[in-house]
Structure 1
Amino acid sequence: MADDDKLVRLVGTLAILVSLGIACSGPTDSLEPAVFGPLGDRPGIQVHDRLPFPRLDAPTDVVRDTYGRPHIYATTLADAMRAEGYMIARDRAGQLELLRRTAEGRMAQIFGDISPNTIDSDIAFRQIGLARIARAQNALIGPGEVRAALEGYAEGVTNAFRDIREGRAMLPESWSMLPIEAFTDWSAVDSLAVARLQTFLLSYDADVDIGNQVVLDNLKATFHASAKDQALRARTGIERDLWWFAPLDPIAERPALSPRPQPSAIASSPSLKGKRTAPKAASIVANRTVGFRDVLDSIRNQWAPAGFGSNAWAISGIASATNHALLASDPHLALTSPGGLWPVSITVGMGSDAAMRLSGAAMPGIPGVILGHNGMVAWGATVTGYDVSDAYSETVSADGQGVVFGTSKVPFQSIDEVIEVRGSAPLVYHVKIVPHHGPIVPVIEGHRVIEPSPGPALSVRWTGSAPTLELAALFGLAHARTTDEGVNALASYAAGAQNWVLADTSGNIAWTSSSHIPIRKREAFSWNPSSYTGTLPCLVLPGDGSAEWTGMLPAEYVPAAKNPASSHIISANNDPTGDLADNDPSNASLPNGTPMYWGCGFDVGYRASRIRARITSANRPLGPEDLSAIQADVRSALGANLVPVLLTVLNRAQEEYAHPDSNSSLSHVLKEPAYDPVRIAEVRTLLETWGADADYRASAGIDLATGEPSPTAGVIPEAIAGRASQATLIFNLWLRNVIIRTLRDEAVAASVNLGHDALLKAIVHLLLDDPRGLATYDPVRRDSIVWDDIQTTDVVETRDDRIVQALLDSIIWLDQKAGSDERQRRWGAYHTVTMSSIAAPIGTSIPARNDRLFSSGFPRDGDEFCVDAAEYNLATVEPDPYFMYRSGPAQRFVIDLDPAGPRAWNAFPTGNSMDPSNHHFRDETEYWRTNRAHLVPFTIDEMIHVSESRIVLIPTPRSM
């Protein structure tokens, strides 16, 4: 044992000896000497409780502030992690248990009888192998900081779980569906499995690749030049109009690594481009693997939203109003109860000798802090969207024991799995793994796995399958004193790629997206962007050896920046290099000519573009309050782009109504009984003033605090906000209906689900592009044939007809729904957020509070692709419009990196506690939902000023 460790343990022993005879939970004014942690007997911060804690090195302080955040003060990192694990298990025991059981495929052990779908979830995650990866990671971690953190955290969670099992702590009534015997001791492997679950949620998209292949194959098989139905033949090439790779608003922090080839250069490689294609295994096997893909969808919907989104940006010290670097971070996650982040502050050592001072947000189950700051550096993150998982089309050998690879047979690796099922016999099966790729995609039928049979199958290769050590990168980041040191620490962050935006107290800002990014053989990119044929890694690749990974991207080519000339860095899931601006993912290359590919789909670009516009148009240095205002920006990018198109068509409709022309493309819709020129004029005026008076602000029109018809105070005048909210509602109703009226018939004909972003991109291109550039251009109609409805034969629908008909649909629905109720004509009556229980998928939910706002949802500003993310699901098949949130900011963090001491503000969508009866269940929500943030205490004096309670964890004699 090191001398320092001996001294620490001696101090702890002496403290215990001094306090012998004192009940650890006894009153602080006992006549016996009292034990204190590193904070000592400090005035203004009374000790409320003392708790015995096995294996502590020394007494440890935990102070809870009035916002619910624990501030941990320990003498060693291991003790700090013990306290962190203990406190989060006291706050979020149920969440921790669900996370580890999901990751390790052990949900059916406690829920298999009431929710058989948990068996399928277990199968999926046993197949992907998160627990196997976690065990391999654990074996790689030797003595040191990461090992101490993992073991200490596990001990802390275990102590809290034992309290539950042994009756010293009670679960909230709303979590009583979890049997207390489920809370077995926590381990380092559990934390690593939960961490790899987060990696999965952020980077695994092989099931999306399979879905992409199915959509492409179905569209081509339905709409082609040889189709018997003329309407189907007329839509040949429709896949190019419905599936766009390019962002709607291209914005990149760094230029592409090499100039993109011109079309002539693309066409000069007829031997490659468009010739090679994966076997149709994706389409053949897709229906058999739909169970697996549905499970992954449900898990993402439970723990993370469909797709991804986040904002993070920084302004350098030379350009800010404070002369310090500023950073803002609002990661977009599922808005659940409890939330996906847990605020905490951690200090190891005291004063100038402190070994660690951390403040920020932890992810439940994972030691340390994922997003936040120390005394000198702050960081935020967004998902990169890099494509780091590939689905391969395999041919299972005739004996069913392996796959054909080139001219050889490669035997499967086989791993026995036993899934315990409550109320039933265990499920025993074999995970089949293709050694050079990864696990076979399972066929799940009747909550059982069908063994691979000779013929086509699918396998998955994923960078997250390797035992990488992201925790080492995060603890290295925790010690960083400059952005350079932070970037260097993150160089080992290999899986679950993030765009890390950093700032330091010297005024520097930086961005890195360090990650394992596969380099693939050139044959993986035999894509022809003109015909949408060939291979791409975001489709199913051939598994015959022609499209293999050849290594990982060298670190010097990973997109990054430091102190750019613009004095700001923006990351909002946008295309990092601009390579997709030409709608071709296949044609980028490294300087040495090696094919380079980042991904097929990034964010549409509106959020990044709006953040940049807010920064550059300010014409003055920005301060922390300005960054908070940008986080709350709810200008409707779609409204700004599409309302002018709608207004132009409405003007034509009114003109045609006044002066009928029998040949007009609008003549049919103008005969509709619902077409009322007076009402249309009212709507037109409403939409015109939305842009002119409110700059397309997507206003709820309902006070976010009271729920009454009134705007958010102080943003725009009430009268303008009220009209803006009505315009926002009518616009979003129209947007949904124009998509349904225009694209549902093609989707039904081809039996495809185009998905949220694909639908929006498609309708924007159909509405804004020159139709002569579309694959579905009809020279007779002088527009895309897609506007005509396949299902009608007695009328030819047109672009203008569909636009006006969609508006009539919206008016009819609104009149029926709202009547004369003013509140029901405002956006905030429908655009709401409810923090749904993470336990809901297993048939239970956290009961709502009694107040109307919580039970019916919080009204919110914003719509699709706003900076203040507020997306709803346009791809839903609900008969009624469904405008509730899918995801949103999991924190609203802004920090001023003052060398004298950082000052940070934050708000979270839920409180720290999972217990609805606890006042820290939703206290943070009150800040979050009204776009406010509070100062987060960092120094001891700041913490004392807002302290609520203090406990001292005391080493027990058996820990010596």
Structure 2
Amino acid sequence: LPCYVLDGTGGMEWTGAHLDERYIPHEKNPERGYIATANADPVGVTENGDVLDGVDPADRADDFYIGCDFDRGHRLARITERLEELTTAGGITPQDMSELQNDAQSPFGRFLTPAIVTQLDRALEERATPGTHPDLSAAVTELASVMDRVSDARDRLAAWTSFDTPAAVEDSPSAPEIADSVAASIFNATMGHLMRLTFDDEYDYFHDGELDGDPRRSNGAGTTMIWMLQDPSSLVGYDADAMDAVYWDDIGTDVVESRGDRMLRAVAAALGTLETTLSSTDMDTWRWGLLHTLRLDALVPVRLLGDSMDVLSIPTPLDTTYPNGFPRHGDRDVVDASGFGMFDFFRRDYGSGPQQRLVVEMTPEGPRAVTALPGGNSEDPDSRFHRNEMELWRRNQVRPVPFTEAEVLAAAVEHYRFVP
């Protein structure tokens, strides 16, 4: 199996048989009125940590391996939530589906921000009345010079109730969009530091130099963080005396650090990172779109100045408006996929996202579709179709797709004839 080292003595070879269709996860006309997928575990085979025992021990599907490396499931959960809202309201339109594809609510922000705010409240109580929370006394004392800034960040995170992640650097953003954008910057910077403060000591201790790659890039760290906050007692690393996960503690120190200590220090470090990166101490200027950007690399890059510049990328590094890439909303595991590594706040651009924004409506007259491509249909930088859809795609807009012969001919701007 792809997830495990297999016995090589002869009992693990493929038999040549193909899985019967009835054992392949599928749905047909479910009563809820929709089918949603997003690379997540389709039938719950990973829920108990054993991908070989299936969901129902009485079901022969348990004899078959379906998979093990699935998405964390946050995108599917949000898509399902939105579809439930739409189906309850009734009258779903293609525009509704395009707007759903545009959803950029931060699932990690939604899960983790309340916990961070709670710990910042404890830290501020400790500052006001020393000894109230002994686990925070050392950190509050060390960070005394920035606690007013921490308090400001706390208020901005507490007000971030939409958990939306707008770029907020173009088109005269509204005050709520700016507030959400700043909160998204603070949260994501905090997450980068929090993940390292929490897990780097364990990874460094157990990493012996023989692992292929950095295990911190796996999905497991993000999932573990959520369990640490939602249900720490379910983890192997649960400390019954502390009533919390042991992973908050830095095993390289002589004291036992708490979740509050880790979160307070992560926020303080995040504020320093944002001040340095954006060259500003004014939090209102910390727009997420200045940090979270997208550049589309060419399939066959043409580089100048050594390897530093791909002149076929969109936008190129020479673009006077977007030299660092297009500002984008979103973060890890949002519906409009735009995530970056869980530990990689210092590289906030991203390389995987929607390859088109396609919505199709089946009508009595035939399919009616809209779409937008990231760039265009041509890799030729001199072609009018090299990046003609880039503005539509990055702004989450779409164009009609010609479908019938008459529609295609009416939309044609060039004709090619191929002869033997």
Displacement after TM superposition at 1:932 (Å): 0.3
The answer (yes or no) to whether the contact 1:846–1:916 under 8 Å persists in 2 is no
* Whole-angstrom distance in 1 between the partners of 2:341 and 2:382: 31
Deviation of the 1:782 alpha carbon: 3.1
- Separation (CA, whole Å) in 1 of partners of 2:21 and 2:58: 12
Aligned to 1:538: 3
Q: CA deviation at 1:784?
A: 2.3
Decide which of 765, 774, 789 is 2:235's aligned counterpart. Answer: 774
Quickly say closer, same or farther: Cα 1:850–1:787, change in 2 above 3 A.
Answer: closer
Looking at structure 2, the residues matched to 801 and 763 of structure 1 have their Cα atoms a distance apart, in angstroms, of 15
In the alignment, does 2:274 pair up with 1:808?
A: no
What is the CA-CA distance between 1:912 and the residue it aligns to? Answer: 1.6
C-alpha distance in structure 1 between counterparts of 2:331 and 2:29, whole Å: 33
1:760 corresponds in structure 2 to: 222
Distance between the aligned counterparts of 1:630 and 1:557, measured in 2? 31
- How far apart are 1:837 and its partner, in Å? 2.7
Structure 2 partner of 1:134: none
Q: Give the drift of 1:670.
A: 0.1
Alignment deviations for residues 843-896 of structure 1 (CA, whole Å, 9 cap, x no partner) = 5733527533443200001111110001112244xxx71110121000010011
Secondary structure at 2:330's aligned position in 1?
A: coil
Task: Quote the residue 2:320 is aligned against.
Answer: 852
The one-letter code of the counterpart of 1:630 is L
- Which residue is equivalent to 1:598? 66
Aligned partner of 1:916 in structure 2 is 381
Distance 1:632 1:671 in 2: 43
Is it true that 1:830 corresponds to 2:284 in the alignment?
no
Question: How far apart, CA to CA, are the structure 2 residues paired with 1:596 and 1:723?
Answer: 49
C-alpha deviation, 1:569, in angstroms: 0.8
* Distance (Å, rounded) in 2 between the aligned partners of 1:950 and 1:727: 50
- Offset of residue 735 of structure 1: 0.8
8 A Cα contact 1:756 1:875, kept in partner? no
Paired residue secondary structure (2:417): strand
Match of 1:734?
A: 190
Cα displacement (A) at 1:805 = 0.5
Whether contact under 8 Å (2:39, 2:71) holds in the other structure is yes
* Distance (whole Å) between structure 2 residues aligned to residue 594 and residue 790 of structure 1: 40
For residues 358 and 385 of structure 2, what CA distance do their matches in structure 1 show? 19
1:841 and 1:776 mapped to 2: Cα distance?
Answer: 49
The structure whose residues are more often strand, as a share, is 1
**Which residue number corresponds to residue 817 of structure 1?**
277
Aligned to 1:408: none
The match for 2:163 is: 696
Separation of aligned partners in 1, 2:391 and 2:180: 24
Equivalent AA in structure 2 for residue 615 of structure 1: L
**Distance in 2 between the 1:829 and 1:749 partners?**
35
Gaps of 5+ in 2: none
1:889 to 354, 371, 380: 354
What is the CA–CA distance in structure 2 between the aligned matches of 1:822 and 1:763, rounded to whole Å? 27
Who is 1:576 aligned against? 42
Q: Which of 389, 397, 404 is residue 932 of structure 1 equivalent to?
A: 397
Unaligned residue ranges in structure 1 (runs of 5+): 1-389, 391-536, 712-717
Secondary structure of the corresponding residue to residue 895 of structure 1 = strand
Aligned-residue CA RMSD in angstroms? Answer: 2.3
Q: 1:562 aligns with which of 21, 28, 36?
A: 28
Task: Identify the match of residue 749 of structure 1 among 205, 220, 228.
Answer: 205
Distance, in Å, in 2 between the alignment partners of 1:930 and 1:663 is: 46
Q: Do the aligned partners of 1:834 and 1:854 also contact (CA within 8 Å) in 2?
A: no
Task: Give the match's secondary structure for 2:126.
Answer: helix
Alignment of 1:405-554 (within 5 A): 537-550=2-15, 551-554=17-20
User: What letter corresponds to residue 175 of structure 2 in structure 1?
Assistant: A
Whether 2:363 is the aligned partner of 1:898: answer yes
Assess if the C-alpha contact under 8 Å between 1:674 and 1:808 holds in 2: no
1:145-204 C-alpha deviation (Å, 9 max, x unpaired): xxxxxxxxxxxxxxxxxxxxxxxxxxxxxxxxxxxxxxxxxxxxxxxxxxxxxxxxxxxx
Q: Please state how far the C-alpha of 1:916 moved relative to its aligned partner.
A: 2.0
Q: Which has the larger radius of gyration?
A: 1
Matching residue of 2:406? 941
1:232-251 Cα offsets, whole Å, 9 max, x none, are: xxxxxxxxxxxxxxxxxxxx
Match of 2:84 in 1: 616
1:585 paired residue number: 51
Q: Which amino acid aligns with 1:744?
A: D
1:272-351 equivalences under 5 Å are: none
Indicate how the Cα distance of structure 1 residues 561 and 726 shifts in structure 2: closer, same or farther if over 3 A, else same: same
Q: Give 1:741 shift.
A: 0.3
How far apart, CA to CA, are the structure 2 residues paired with 1:725 and 1:601? Answer: 32
Letter in 2 for 1:614: R
Shift of 1:592: 4.3
Say if 1:636 and 1:863, in contact at 8 Å, map to a contact too. yes
2:246 to 785, 804, 807: 785
In 2, the alpha carbon distance for the partners of 1:564 and 1:893 equals: 23
Tell me by how many angstroms 1:657 deviates: 1.1
Contact 1:759 1:875 in 2 (8 A): no
CA distance in structure 2 between the partners assigned to 1:849 and 1:594 by the alignment: 52
Q: In structure 2, do the counterparts of structure 1 residues 730 and 756 end up closer, same or farther at CA, with 3 Å as the change threshold?
A: farther
1:634 counterpart SS class: coil
Distance 1:853 1:821 in 2: 23
State which of 725, 732, 744 in structure 1 corresponds to 2:181.
Answer: 725
- Structure 1 residues 951, 774: closer, same or farther in 2, change over 3 A? closer
Q: Is the 8 A contact 1:590 1:596 kept in 2?
A: no
SS in 2 for 1:626: helix
Change (3 A) 1:762 1:594: closer
Output the TM-score relative to the length of structure 2.
0.89
Out of 75, 83, 96, the position equivalent to 1:607 is 75
Q: How far apart in 2 are the matches of 1:767 and 1:605?
A: 17
What are the superposed Cα offsets for residues 559-594 of structure 1, whole Å, 9 maximum, x if unpaired?
Answer: 222211111111111111122222321222573486
Q: CA deviation at 1:737?
A: 0.7
Change beyond 3 A, Cα 1:620–1:675: farther
Shift of 1:908: 0.5
- Report Cα offsets for 1:751-791 as digits up to 9, x if no partner: 1522241221122122222x333222234433222211122
Q: Report the residue type matching 1:920 in the other structure.
A: F
Which residue is equivalent to 1:631?
101
Check whether the contact 1:893–1:905 (CA below 8 A) recurs between aligned residues: yes
Q: CA deviation at 1:748?
A: 1.0
**Counterpart-to-counterpart distance in 2, 1:841 and 1:784:** 49
Structure with the larger RCO, 1 or 2 (CA within 8 Å, 6+ apart)? 1
For 1:460-498, what per-residue CA distance to the aligned partner results, in whole angstroms no more than 9, with x for missing partners?
A: xxxxxxxxxxxxxxxxxxxxxxxxxxxxxxxxxxxxxxx
Q: Judging changes above 3 Å, is the alpha-carbon distance between structure 1 residues 620 and 636 closer, same or farther for their aligned structure 2 residues?
A: same
For each residue in 1:433-474, what CA deviation from the matched residue of structure 2 results, as whole angstroms up to 9, or x when unmatched? xxxxxxxxxxxxxxxxxxxxxxxxxxxxxxxxxxxxxxxxxx
Using the TM superposition, give the Cα deviation of residue 696 of structure 1 relative to its aligned residue in structure 2, in angstroms: 0.8
Cα shift at 1:677: 3.5
- Deviation of 1:824 after TM superposition, in Å, equals 5.2
**2: CA distance, partners of 1:902 / 1:781:** 60
Q: CA contact under 8 A between 1:627 and 1:894: conserved in structure 2?
A: yes
Deviations 1:382-423 (A, max 9, x none): xxxxxxxx4xxxxxxxxxxxxxxxxxxxxxxxxxxxxxxxxx
Equivalent position SS for 1:569: coil
Number of aligned pairs?
401
SS at match of 1:808: helix
